[in-house]
Structure formats: C-alpha cells, structure tokens
Structure 1
Amino acid sequence: MNITPLTRNVIVYLLVLLLCVMLFWLSLSISPKPLLINQSNSSYASVDRQGKLLRLSLSSDQKYRLWVPLAEVPVSLQNATLHYEDRWFYWHPGINPVALLRAVWSSLITQQHWIGASTLTMQLARQRWRLKTDHFSGKLKQMAYALWLESHFSKSQLLEAYLNLAPYGANIEGAGAAAWIYFHKPISALTEDETRALVLIPQNPQLRAPRNATALQSLHKAWQIAYGNSPGFDRLWFRQRQDLPFRAPHFSERLHSLYPAMSTLPSTLDSNIQALSEELLAGFLRQHRQDGILNASMMVVHAPTMEVLAYVGSADYFNRNIHGYVNGLKAPRSPGSTLKPFIYALAIAQGLITADTLIKDTPLRMGDYQPENFERNFYGPLSATDALIRSRNIPAISLLAQLKQPGFHQFLLDAGITIPKHAANYGLSLAIGSAEISMEDLLRLYGLLANQGEVRDLRWLATEKTANKQKPLLLPEAAFIVKDMLATNPRPDRSFGGRSFSAQQSVAWKTGTSSGLKDAWAIGISGEYLIGVWAGNFDGSANRHLVGRELVGPLLFDMVDALAIEHRGSTSADQPPVSLQRIDICPLSGRPVSTWCPHGKSGWIIPGVSPLKTCTLHRQIHINPATGLRLCAGDKGPSIERIAEFWESDELESFKQAGVQRDNPPPFQHPCDDASEQNAEANPPKIVSPQAGVSYPLRLGQQATIEFSAVSGGGRHRLFWFLDDNFIGEGATVNWPGKPGRFVISVVDDQGQSASTSLLVTPVTPS
C-alpha cells in the first residue's frame, strides 16, 4: 500500500500529538519533590585566605558534586552551555516539538535509530532521577519528567541545577567540581577557553573527560568541531583527581561542621603559617619520639581580628596508631595552669591585689582540701607576678577562694566556655585545671588579654564581618596588667628550630601541665599573634615528659621566632590604658612605699580599684645595745635605731626551708604596756586549723588527734593555745587528743594579741 506524503505527515503529526498527550498525563502522575536537588548531599571546597584550594570533599554517595549558585557561574559558561546543548532552552516547555518531530520521523518512518531530541531540561531529568534512556519507555519517562520540571521551576533554577548535575567524567558532577578538579580554581575564575572546554565534556563524558592522552584527543576533536580552528585549546592545562590537594584536613572538617550549608568555604587560613606549624610539629615529634611523645597540635590566631591562621589538629591525620584523625584542638582536655592568668586578672579587677602584691606560697588547708604545688614545695611570700609566672598552685587557689561575684566559674560561663558541671562540683580545684577545655576556647580566653578585656569569637571565614565592639568582659586595665605580668616570664633555655630572630621580643606566655601528666600546654601572645601548643596522647595515657614549660615551651618559642622571620613588621606593642598609673612600690612587700622601705621599683595600679595600703613590712624599732632585745616606745636608756622586716611566722618558716635568711626583729625586752605601741603593731595571730564552721568527725572507740595551727604576726615569737580557757600547749602547731563536743579554741602571742574560733567534734559510730 502506497502512502502519500500528505498521509505520512498526518500520521507523524498524530503520533507526536498522541505522544505529547501521554507525556502530559505522565507528568501529572509524578509526585512533587520538595527540592530540585539535595544540596546537603554535596561536596564542600575549603580554600585558604589566598584563594588556594585546601580540600575538595566527596559527597556521601562518593561524588565530587559542588553546588554553585547560578550567580557565581560565569556568563560565558552559561551561554556556551546553552549554545552547545540547547539553543531553544528559553522557548520550549521542556521538550522541543521540532526536534521531537524529527526524532519520530527518523525512528518510526525511516526506520533509523532514535536521533537526539534531548533538551537541557531532559538531560537534567535523566541526571536527577538516574533514568535509563536507551529504550523507548525510558525516553518517554525522561520527557515526562522534563515537562514536570518546567511546570514547577523557573528556567534559571533549571539551568542552575543542570550546571550542578551535569556529568564531567568518572564521579565528577557539576561545573563547580569540574573547575576545581581540572583547573584548580573556582568556577568564577575560569577563563573563556576553560569554560568552552568544560561545556564539551557532558555530551560524552566517558570519551572526553581529560583523564589521559586518548581522552584529550577526543576532547580536542570536539573542540575543533564546535569552535573551528580556535587555538585556545593548546593553552589549557588539565589537572586530574589525584592532583587534588588534601591540606589542613582538621581545619577543613572543622569549617564544614561550623558552616554545613556552605559548599565553598573561603577561610582565614594562612597556608604559609600552616606549613610552618606542620613543619615545627614534625621536627618536635622527631626529637621527642624516644621519650614516647607521639602527638601534638598547634593553633595560631590573629589577635586583633581573631582570625584562625593555622590549625593543626594532630601530628598525622592518617596515623591510626595515634588516633590522628581526632581533632585535638576541638577536644576538651585538662588545661593545667593555663587558666591561672584569669584568676589573677579577676583578683586585680576586684581590688584584691596588684601585680606586685605579696602572696603567700605556704602550706594551706581549706576544710578537707589541702592543695599542693606541682613541685611539692613552698617558696614563701611571692609577688603576684612571680607566683603567676612560676605557676604556683597555692597562691592561685587562695585568690580563687577570695573572688567576689562574678566568681571564676561564672566568668568562664560568661566568656562562652562550656563548663559541664556546676561550680560546687569543681570547687577550688578549678584553679589547677579540673574543668576540661579545648585549645579553641583557651585561645578565645587569651584573646581577652590581647584585646583589652573584650571577648571575641574566633573568625573562620574571610567573608565574615568583624564583630562590633562589645562591653569588655574583663576590666581593660586588668587585662593589660596580666599580659604585662606574663611578659616577664623568661624564655625557655632551649628551642628546636634554631631560630633566634625574636630573642628580644616581648612574649606574654603561660604553660600548663594537667594532673597525672597527661597534657602539656603552652599559650603565648606575641605581637598580633595568639599561639597555642599542646602535646599528649588522645588515649589519655600519662608520660613523665609531659610537662608544659619543659616540653612545649621551647616549641612555642620556635613558632614565635618563625613568625617573626616570616612576617617581619607585623608585631605590635600595646599602649597601657590611660587610666593606669605607676607608683613607687616596696620591692619586698609589693605595697606603696613607706618612709622605711628601700626604693627603686615601680608598679601599675588602677586608681580607685587597687589596694593601696602603705607597706608595714619595714618598720623602725629600738634595740637595747647591751641585750640586743627590742625596747618599747616609752623605755629609757641607751638605744639603737634600726629598720626591721616584720614577716609572719609561716613566711619565715618557708624562707628557712628555702635556705633564705630574713631579718626577723628580736623579742621585746619586756611586755609593752603602752597602748599606742600595741595599736601601732596590731597584728594578731591567724588560726589556720581548725576552721570555723567545719565539723570534725571522731570515730568512737578510736584514738584521734586534731591539729591546731596558727600564723603569728611579724615580730611575734611565741604562741600559746587554750581550749575553753584551759592551756593545752605552745607553738605554731600543737596536736590535741580529740573528744566529742563543742569548744572554743584560742591562741595568744607573746604580746597579748589573740584569735579564737569554734570547734565542733562529732562522734561517728564505726560501720
């Protein structure tokens, strides 16, 4: 039967019309989707502050798929894609009727293979729903999905989705990922020739993805067909997936955890400082491997902006033996003594001390708690500055106990530090690192000292705006003074890097060693840089070499020196707040000088805040030249004037243990009856034990003693103890055989000055 051309055309048109009706009906049956594409299941690209790629991650389905908004795609790439793939994209409804007629005619009338009729929307449908379109039913479904897409999304959304899903070879999807992999640059930075090459790949990614010489030849041939003899192809340099960098892995993962919705993360990281950190850590661990030191981490922050410049979470990300994949900068660890500067800062801000105030480093008992120093010894009286840089535990604990509101626990909470337990759970041990904290939070805290007491969050993205100035969490004057105190901490004796450029540079730094020798810390402020170093083991194992000052102090200064060489001229010196004043200070007592004090030292004070009680350590006394004993104010006869030091008894004992001789005034020749003499030197003894308000248990049927101890005032030599007016012994310490009951304990010195406290002894029946 012969079919006329007219009949043939009618048949084709009817078939196309029927096909369109079927497609429309199929499109109505497609369930709506909440998203055109699941952007959360995408790769992320982290880049440093210079725009260089740090890492391009894989999606959860092992694809390189980096979501890029259409606004960031070069117009040249958009136009080239439409020109090459679908010139009628903005006019058709998802399928191109003219191309469809041609395809039906070719396949049904001339009995040839199905020729290309795919629109860009149809290609998107195939990629979005992973359709098999090499048979008629698959092609039909593809066209139905294309109609559905067009009815639910704008042309801009469809073009954006296509550019983010188009295949570019192997497991590479989307032009954004392809730009990083093939050219190591963001899609927005592609040249015109690079964009023209990229648009050729999706039509046949298996043949044209430039993975080898054969594929390059195939891509070059497609270029010649599409663009003629344009020479641009010869100027292109294609990279491969295996060439992708994998730098600063912990930093990239941390960025992604902080900003999970962002596909491209333009960070603040400085790759040069990052490389310095990694190099120094590697050298440090090589030298200490024989000591069992296997892991360490380092972080560098630009203090004025709080931008993270370097971030090394462990010694080796891929070393499972040391749990290298764990991010040690984010993990909470016991900070040892690194929190002590903030106790001193609060004490200065609350008017308890100055940097020069004398603080006792003597045995201390607070109820059942009897803290010790790391070295298990005592230095006696120390200036606050010396106590801080020597990291003495007892002075810090004593100050913590004296803090008013806000207390130290509340201060940490106000600074944004996550403390899991209530203040009572930590007690005074908070001063020596009983609350775990991360390196990130530690550097945020030290940022208070560098930024005049203002707490600022770390900045991770270069695109983030600097936070507006806030009300200081810490008194700016106190922040400056504590930083100045830490700057007197001498450099360690050795370093590993051999650099010495900044040997004279002022560095405010502090170290810490956790209880049980599990963590060694060093934190420093050098010019505009905050530097944090940690060494230890992620499994929590102890090591006798994990001592902050000795182990990681030198490493900290290696980084200080390296930064001074790498970034000369970037350091800065703080100017003191205008409200601070310097006054003459007694070199021994740390108080404002009296008439009798030696001179030659000055110190900072905060007017209206700092304690300004004049020094009473140095006093003029009169000595009987015949007996060498001290005279009272009204005594007649020959006398010699001299200046004596009036130390308390526990201070003298500490000096004695340290082998230091102090000028203790001699005893009085006789008790002084002059009331003015007594008032001038009113310094009664202080009872250390027993403590008021504390109940002392006594097991019935067992022998037990209770220690009575006191500190006598300067110039007093004898102490007498009384229990309910009954004399029980003499000395700085006596032991009393306990018995149940409530008692009044009194102690009297050799000049009649006294102190008393109550004692409750509670009987306990043995279990």
Structure 2
Amino acid sequence: MKEGGQKSSNVLKKWLRPSRFWLFITPFLLFLLLDVAIPFKVSPRYSTLITASDGTILHAFLNDDDKWRLYTELEEITPVLRQTILQKEDRYFYYHPGFNPFALGRAFLKNTMTGRRSSGASTITMQVVRLLEPRQRTYLSKAIELFRAMQLELHYSKDEILQLYLNLIPYGGNIEGMKSASLLYFGKLPQLLSLAEITTLTIIPNRPSSLRLGRKNVFIVQERNKWLRRFEKAALFDKQVIADAINEPLNAYRREAPKLAPHLAFRLRKEHKNTPIIRTAILPTRQAQVEQMTRNYVNRLQSMDIHNAAVIVVNNETMRVEAYVGSADFNNPYDGGQVDGIRAVHSPGSTLKPLLYAIAFDKGMITPKSAINDVPTNFGGFEPENFDRRFNGKVTIEFALANSLNIPAVKVLKELTPSVLIGYLKKSDFQTVKKQSKDLGLSMILGGCGVTLEELTRLFTSFANGGKIHGLNYSADTKKSKGEVLISPESAYLINGILTQITRPDLPNNFDNTYHLPRIAWKTGTSYGKKDAWSIGYNRRYTVGVWVGNFSGVGVPELNGANIATPLLFDVFNAVDYNSPTGWFKPAADITRRKVCAESGDVPSDFCTHQILDYAIMGISSTRKCQHLKWVLTDKNAEISYCTQCIPDSGYVRKLYPNMAPELIAYNELNHIPFQRIPPHNPKCTRVFEVGAPVITSPNDGSEYFLENQELQLACQASNDVREVYWYINDKLIQKTNPQTALFVKPPVGKVKISCSDDKGRNVDVFIKVLSR
C-alpha cells in the first residue's frame, strides 16, 4: 500500500513541476485573456411581439432590419422540439464544450481524403456563432468559430445557447427563428406545434431555398418523412406517434402576422423600445369583439358624416385595460384611422361635471337636494346656455347633474374657484390641463380645456373605486396600485346614485324601459361646435369610455353624447358585462339620510312644511337653516312693508314672503311665472339700505365696447321688494324703469360710469370704456 501511494505522489509531483504546470494552464489563461480583450457581443435585434393576457399574439412587428425574428422563450422550447432539433443537429450538445472534437477530427480526415469540403462538423453552438457573425467558409473562419463557441459556452448556459439557435435559424426570405416560422407558416406558437410540424421546421434551415414552405409542400413532406423514419429507428418517439406524424398533411403557407389592437401595439412598442415581448392585459376575444362593434357602429353613422370612434374598456377590480380601440378602422387613411382616439386631445364637453359636484359634496357646499337657480346669468361677460337653450328656474343639484345643466355647474365652480378643480385634475394626471392651467377659467367645466379619453375613463374609475384613483394597467404583469384618494367614498356614492338615474335627457332615443339598457352609471358630453361626443359609463366591475366624432375636427349637427356616443357605450357594456353578478355600490360609512326643506335643500326651519329625505355626509355637509322664506312687516292689507325704523304706531302684521335671489325674480318676471311679491316699502321711510343693491348684468364691469351705430344695453336684477330702478350715466339720470325692463342707450366715448339705484336708495356702479374709430 505504501509503495502504491508513493507512486501516485510521484506522478502528482511530476505534473506539478513548473514547466509542465504552465504548459497545461497557459492555453486556458490565454483563452480567458482573449475573452476579455475580444468579448463576444451577443445582441441580436428581435422583432417586437405584443401578446394578450392569455399569451396569444395580438400584434407582431418587423425588427430594425425588416426581418421577422421573433423571440422564442425558454418555456416555449418543448421536450419534443428539444429532442427533435438535437437529434438532427447535435446529439451531444449537452456534453461538449462548444465543439465536438471527434466530429471535427472525422470531418478533417474526410475533407482531406476527398479533397473537398464535404463535412463541417458544426455544433449548435458553432452554428449560433456563424449566424451571429457570418464569415466565408475557410479554415481560419472555422478556428474563429471554435473560439467564439467556447466563449458562448463560458458565458451562457446550454439552454440559452439552444434558445439563441432557435431564434436565429433562417427560413428563407426575411423570416428567421423557429417562432417566426411557426407563426407565419402554421399560425401558432412553437409550444402548440405537432411532431410533424416541428420536424418540418427543423429541416428547412439547412435548405431554405429548395424547401420553400407553401410552394414545395409535396417535396417537403417527403423530406420530413425521411427524418421521421430516422427518428423511429433511433427510438426517439413511439412508433404510433411517428406513424401519426407521417400521415399528417402539411398545411403550411405564408400567413399575415397578427394585427389586433394596432393603436395599443404601436404605442407600447414606442414606450418599450428593444423589448422583444410586451405582455398586455388585453383579452383577445374582447378586443376583437369591441373592434368589430366599433367598426360596424361607425359604418352606420357614415350617412351623418360621422367617421370615427374610440373605445377603452377598464376592469375596475384590477385596473387592467381589457380592450383598446383607437379608431374605427386603423387601415382607413382617409378618415385618420391611424390616429389614436384614446390619446387624442379633445374638448370634454360636460364630462367633468361629476368631479366638480363630488368636490363640492366633500367641501360641504352642497348635497343632492340643495337648490340652485338655473336661470340666465352673466359671469363677468361669460353667459352660458344649456344644451337645449332652455332654463329650468330653481332646481336641485341632483337634477342639475342628471340633466347636465350648465348654469348650475358654472355657479358651483365659481364658488369653488377654478383653481381647486384644476388641482384635482392635476392630481388625476390630466396632462393638457397641466399645460393650460394658467389660462383656464369658468368655461372649463363646459368643455373649455383639453382632455383625452384615457384620462376621462381613468377619472371615472375613481367613482367605481370608492373615490380612489389608480393608474391604468396595460401590462398583465402589473398589479393594481395602492391608489390615491381623489374624493371621499361618500361623495363617490352620491355621484354614483345620481348618474344611475335613467329619467334624464341623455338617455338615447328609444332606449327607455328596454332590455338593451345595462345597469350602469354614466355621463355624456358634447363639445362646443358638436365636434366631440362622449359617453363614459361604469359599474362595480367595468368602466367603459366612448368617444365619437371626426379626427379632422369637423363638427356635425347630429353629433351629441346622448344619441351618438351612448348607444355604442350600451352595446359595449351589454357585450362585456351584461347582468353583472357583482352587485351595486353600497353606501359609504359616513353617508346618512336626513330631512331637508324641499324648497332649498337646507335643514328645515319652522316654516318649512314640505320636507323630503336627502343624503348627507356626516360632519361635512352644511347644517345651515333654510331661508327660502323671510319675515316681512306689513300693514293689515299687505300693501306696504316696513323696516324696523318706520314701524307705524297704528300697528302692523308679520308675514312670510319668498326670499328669492334677484336672478330668479328676473327669470320669473320674464317668463310670467307668478310669485308672491313683497309689498313696496313705506314711502315715508328715509332709511337707505346697505345690503341687497341691484346687480348690473349688462354691461360688464371693466369691459371695453366698440359701438358703431349701436346702442348699449343696460340690464339689472333686483330684490323681491323693488318696484323701480334708476339708471345714471356719469352721475346723470337717464331713465326710471322697472327692474325687469332692459334699457338701450348710446354712452359717450371714453371712460364711462354707469350706476343703478333702486327705490330703497341702494346703489351699484360699474365702469366701462367706450371706443370709437
């Protein structure tokens, strides 16, 4: 035993002698040095592939070299594919260091004996090198390939090298890679290929010119079956499996690459450059369904000169975008089919009103039953009208939102201030509003700003998510974000209740009380000039945004949110979530119900005989007492009213009279709506009142007017107890009229002071500038 151990020790010492050690290690060190000095850069440029949530392909793009080189993932390399490709190309792939020395020696002897190159002995690794760095077929090139192959083996696993090979093998023309050929010739992914199809694709790369799929299928079947019989001899697969593969017909021909969701595909490709596979949250059947519905719907609108639409479908539970239709027909260049209507900036019309009222609910300014006047109003020169150009007098906030009235919305925004609404829109990431914020005013609530369908739809998801706003998820791998509180759950619940009502003017014609109406909350909008029609709807599960119009910006008289955009919204909702099992929105924790005065929506006073139930937010909603009536001192016949300074000794009575705003009085007078007027004040009273002066509605204070053969209108609104007003220009009395009568005058050129006094001695002044040529 000692003698044997001594011999082993001597052999080891012999090999560890410095000269022999360095002779052994030097080639290895030299290889490592060359590997650092001449690194092998493996960076093939792949095509971009857009996949749906289930992994199916939505859209495929050529790479930068105009080649179809789709990226094959490791999990797509099935055992059958692996066995087939290794049996044919490199049976010892998992055992050699990048080259097969025995195969190389055999090839060298054979080539030397024949005097020509008849065998290359290239391994899969060496073929990858050749595909990445093509060279002339020389012995020097072979040596370089050997070196590069060892580099590949050093830095990549065997599976990764096999993956590279499957991604680069040529199939003729501009098609490279197993996945590209599988998709373009068989219309399926590699993991779905049969043994016969896999064998077909393994024999093409060696002879891509002579074995042209779709043209020489009969010849290809013969070659395929030869290899299948070889696999049978090698006992690679069961005999029955081989027999089935041999009898399988070859149904291969050049197919078009998938082109679903083109707008989203182009968008994501631009946002995720050099990403070979982009996994979206799109549901392929839903995407195809919504695309077809949008195309068919717009085709029916062509006769009205309406040529486009965009639809986005968002799952509120995950915030995933399940359908994305940027236009009615991407391939229609005449109507701007390649414009992405989901990201195009348009006027929102009335679609921002729900957010405005939700903010006002949270500020305690209003509740659903709060009264507000829908009457002609001048907001410093801005005189909005309703869509139907009619006014409704005193209405509730609930009615104003459900009927999308304009004047109440502007009044609420004026009290709230535009800067507050802009702040909320910035928080909701409205990009164009951020840019326009310095120039936005009261008109923004009626569409005087720029928004996108994507932004609006995301905003409406906050109503479905209890007031929290989340980012939209276009990727199937992205989870729903924590979200940011935009409005309270209580405010969101109140908005949901109002927008669910179906007794409203924006219900499409012939939809009332039909089975076509899904249970959703929705809001419509129509931009100025009838260029944009909107309809955004939601329930607990989905939010769907619809825009209809022309990308050219041409307005159409028939275009409006109710009759043009909403039918498509209903169709989409009925398709994606008809009879939703998820139930409806539940009241938020701090929602309460209370009795309010039906006339004002405020907490009832003693004189409030007609009371109704209203929602309120505990600790937030206003608790002010109702003042829709006020006590007035009059004589026994109610012909003269008194103030506290002129009460007669002969006695008086105390009576309740309507406490109406001047604007509502003017509206009632103009429309001959009867109301109880306060008797004229005691003419013998010399007191001058400090509050309740008339409001001059025309002209506008601080404005400039160019008058050429024209007269200027003087108009005002006065209190309930005012019978006469007096008009002055530059402190000179012009005329005495009743408050409801407009007066036309021709003022002097220059700076002009216009004054209005009522019969109580209350006065108001405005200053204007009159210009002339």
TM-score range with shorter-chain normalisation? 0.7 to 0.9
State the match for 1:87 in structure 2. Answer: 91
Distance, in Å, in 2 between the alignment partners of 1:425 and 1:405 is 10
2:179 aligned with 1:176: yes
Map 1:24-423 → 2, pairs under 5 A: 32=38, 35-39=41-45, 41-47=46-52, 49-70=53-74, 73-131=77-135, 133=137, 142-143=145-146, 145-146=148-149, 149-150=152-153, 153=156, 155-168=158-171, 170-181=173-184, 184-187=187-190, 198-206=201-209, 211=214, 212-228=217-233, 229=239, 230-233=242-245, 234=247, 240-242=253-255, 244-404=257-417, 407-419=420-432, 421-423=435-437
Distance, in Å, in 2 between the alignment partners of 1:461 and 1:31 is 40
- Residue 404 of structure 1: how far off its partner (Å): 5.0
Distance, in Å, in 1 between the alignment partners of 2:562 and 2:446 is 15
2:438 aligned with 1:435: no
State the match for 2:529 in structure 1. Answer: 516
State the match for 2:595 in structure 1. Answer: 584
- The secondary structure found in structure 1 opposite 2:63 is coil
Using a 3 Å threshold, how does the CA distance of structure 1 residues 311 and 195 change in structure 2: closer, same or farther?
A: same
- Residue 60 of structure 1: how far off its partner (Å): 3.2
Distance, in Å, in 1 between the alignment partners of 2:244 and 2:134 is 34
Residue identity opposite 2:459 in structure 1: L
- Residue 396 of structure 1: how far off its partner (Å): 2.4
Distance, in Å, in 2 between the alignment partners of 1:475 and 1:366 is 30
Distance, in Å, in 2 between the alignment partners of 1:443 and 1:305 is 14
Q: Is the 8 A contact 1:120 1:162 kept in 2?
A: yes
> Once structures 1 and 2 are overlaid, which stretch shifts more, 554-563 or 99-108?
554-563
Map 1:289-688 → 2, pairs under 5 A: 289-404=302-417, 407-419=420-432, 421-468=435-482, 470-490=483-503, 494=508, 500-501=514-515, 503=517, 505-565=518-578, 568-599=579-610, 601-619=612-630, 644-655=657-668, 659=671, 661-668=673-680, 670=682, 683-688=692-697
Distance, in Å, in 1 between the alignment partners of 2:724 and 2:592 is 41
- Residue 118 of structure 1: how far off its partner (Å): 1.2
- Residue 44 of structure 1: how far off its partner (Å): 0.7
Using a 3 Å threshold, how does the CA distance of structure 1 residues 722 and 138 change in structure 2: closer, same or farther?
A: same
- Residue 413 of structure 1: how far off its partner (Å): 1.5
Q: Is the 8 A contact 2:349 2:446 kept in 1?
A: yes
- The secondary structure found in structure 1 opposite 2:334 is helix
Residue identity opposite 1:663 in structure 2: F
Task: Give deviations 1:396-426, integer Å, cap 9, x for gaps.
Answer: 2333232258622222111111126342323
Q: Is the 8 A contact 2:318 2:479 kept in 1?
A: no
State the match for 1:18 in structure 2. Answer: none
Using a 3 Å threshold, how does the CA distance of structure 1 residues 453 and 493 change in structure 2: closer, same or farther?
A: closer
- Residue 513 of structure 1: how far off its partner (Å): 1.6
Residue identity opposite 1:667 in structure 2: P
- The secondary structure found in structure 1 opposite 2:623 is coil
Distance, in Å, in 2 between the alignment partners of 1:495 and 1:216 is 61
Relative to the length of structure 2, the TM-score reads 0.82
Q: Is the 8 A contact 2:260 2:288 kept in 1?
A: no
- Residue 170 of structure 1: how far off its partner (Å): 4.7
Map 1:702-721 → 2, pairs under 5 A: 709-721=715-727
Relative to the length of structure 1, the TM-score reads 0.82
Q: Is the 8 A contact 1:496 1:555 kept in 2?
A: no
Q: Is the 8 A contact 1:54 1:245 kept in 2?
A: yes
Residue identity opposite 1:579 in structure 2: D
- The secondary structure found in structure 2 opposite 1:512 is strand
Structure 1, unmatched stretches of 5+, are 1-20
Q: Is the 8 A contact 2:524 2:566 kept in 1?
A: yes
Task: Give deviations 1:567-620, integer Å, cap 9, x for gaps.
Answer: x33443111211122222333323233333353532222233323322222456
Using a 3 Å threshold, how does the CA distance of structure 1 residues 585 and 33 change in structure 2: closer, same or farther?
A: farther
Task: Give deviations 1:340-385, integer Å, cap 9, x for gaps.
Answer: 2222222222233222223333333344544444444443333222
Q: Is the 8 A contact 1:453 1:476 kept in 2?
A: yes
Q: Is the 8 A contact 2:604 2:611 kept in 1?
A: no
- The secondary structure found in structure 1 opposite 2:313 is strand
Task: Give deviations 1:50-104, integer Å, cap 9, x for gaps.
Answer: 4433233332333322223436534553454334322333454544332222222
Distance, in Å, in 1 between the alignment partners of 2:405 and 2:426 is 24
Distance, in Å, in 2 between the alignment partners of 1:268 and 1:552 is 25
Using a 3 Å threshold, how does the CA distance of structure 1 residues 261 and 590 change in structure 2: closer, same or farther?
A: farther
- Residue 193 of structure 1: how far off its partner (Å): 7.2
Q: Is the 8 A contact 1:500 1:561 kept in 2?
A: no
Task: Give deviations 1:424-469, integer Å, cap 9, x for gaps.
Answer: 323323222232221111101111211122111111222221212x
Q: Is the 8 A contact 1:317 1:325 kept in 2?
A: yes
Q: Is the 8 A contact 1:131 1:142 kept in 2?
A: no
Q: Is the 8 A contact 2:344 2:452 kept in 1?
A: yes
Task: Give deviations 1:181-209, integer Å, cap 9, x for gaps.
Answer: 45555445667776566544434444556
Distance, in Å, in 2 between the alignment partners of 1:636 and 1:76 is 112
Using a 3 Å threshold, how does the CA distance of structure 1 residues 579 and 687 change in structure 2: closer, same or farther?
A: farther
Q: Is the 8 A contact 2:693 2:763 kept in 1?
A: yes
Distance, in Å, in 2 between the alignment partners of 1:223 and 1:269 is 39
> Once structures 1 and 2 are overlaid, which stretch shifts more, 277-286 or 146-155?
146-155
- The secondary structure found in structure 2 opposite 1:322 is coil
- The secondary structure found in structure 1 opposite 2:590 is coil
- The secondary structure found in structure 1 opposite 2:297 is helix
- Residue 472 of structure 1: how far off its partner (Å): 0.4
Residue identity opposite 1:43 in structure 2: T
Identity of aligned residues (%): 29
Residue identity opposite 1:73 in structure 2: I
- Residue 318 of structure 1: how far off its partner (Å): 1.2
Q: Is the 8 A contact 1:387 1:395 kept in 2?
A: yes
Q: Is the 8 A contact 1:362 1:379 kept in 2?
A: yes
Residue identity opposite 1:711 in structure 2: Q
- The secondary structure found in structure 2 opposite 1:309 is strand
Task: Give deviations 1:695-721, integer Å, cap 9, x for gaps.
Answer: 44478x989976654432344443345
Q: Is the 8 A contact 1:94 1:149 kept in 2?
A: yes
Task: Give deviations 1:106-126, integer Å, cap 9, x for gaps.
Answer: 222233542131111221122
